């Protein structure tokens, strides 16, 4: 399995806000690093800067986010499979995806694997790409993920602003 290709495929296919979200991830990473310059929008994740292990981790994070409300519904599964098929990902990789969907990672496992502020920003951005926080469970997933990775509210807000913003009246960082 080529995890970097799978990550690239998923971010592209699910990227209704791909360019804006990477800018948020970069801005969050820059805020963590104490820099304030504006991030130029680009693809969600610069796959050339992500090794195979992190790519696999981010794919697993995306799957966990998709199942945040307790189930990867038929439309979410169809979007993932369509993306894989259109990219020419083989049936073995689609089988891997199905296995991961059946046993998604939990927030603790994801957060414990994050070792840098930049990785935390990429991880949150990858999770946010997959879900629109329109259910209580999805908002809780994002809030808890941010808390466990020690992302500050302003860092989350920077990513959220690039991802289309926090739904009105439903703060993700509260």
Tens-digit pLDDT profile for residues 87-130: 677 778 778 888 888 888 999 999 999 999 999 999 998 998 88
Domains: count for the chain:
1
Q: Is 71 domain-assigned?
A: yes
Helix axes 18-32, 153-162, angle to 10 degrees: 160
**Which tens digit of pLDDT belongs to each residue from 25-76?**
555 555 555 554 444 455 556 677 888 899 899 989 988 998 888 877 777 7
Q: Is 168 domain-assigned?
A: no
Listed ranges 7-11, 71-75, 93-97, 152-156; the one with the highest mean pLDDT: 152-156
Q: In the numeric block, which tokens belong to residue 87?
A: 């990219």
10 vs 36, residue with greater confidence = 10
Lowest mean pLDDT among 2-6, 58-62, 92-96, 167-171: 167-171
Q: Is 128 domain-assigned?
A: yes
Q: Is 44 domain-assigned?
A: yes
Q: Can you tell me the distance from the alpha carbon of 58 to that of 123, in angstroms, rounded to the nearest whole number?
A: 6
Q: Is 174 domain-assigned?
A: no
Residue found under tokens 């994050």: 114
Structural domain of residue 83, as residue ranges? 3-162
State residue 25's pLDDT score. 52
pLDDT at 86 over 60: yes
| 28-42 burial: b if 16+ Cβ within 10 Å, else e | bbbbbeeeeeebeee
């Amino acid at each position: 399995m080529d995890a970097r290709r799978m990550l690239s495929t998923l971010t592209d296919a699910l990227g209704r806000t791909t360019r804006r979200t990477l800018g948020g991830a970069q801005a969050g990473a820059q805020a963590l690093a104490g820099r304030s310059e504006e991030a130029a929008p680009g693809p969600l994740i610069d796959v050339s800067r992500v090794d195979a292990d992190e790519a696999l981790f981010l794919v697993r994070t995306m799957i966990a986010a998709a199942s945040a409300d307790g189930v990867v519904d038929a439309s979410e599964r169809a979007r993932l499979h369509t993306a894989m098929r259109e990219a020419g990902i083989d049936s073995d990789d689609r089988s891997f995806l199905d296995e991961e969907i059946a046993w998604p990672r939990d927030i603790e496992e994801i957060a414990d694997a994050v070792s840098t502020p930049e990785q935390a920003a990429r991880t949150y951005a990858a999770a946010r790409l997959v879900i629109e926080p329109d259910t209580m469970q999805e908002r809780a997933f994002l809030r808890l993920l941010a808390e466990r990775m020690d992302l500050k509210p302003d860092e989350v807000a920077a990513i959220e602003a690039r991802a289309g913003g926090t739904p009105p009246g439903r703060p993700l960082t509260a």
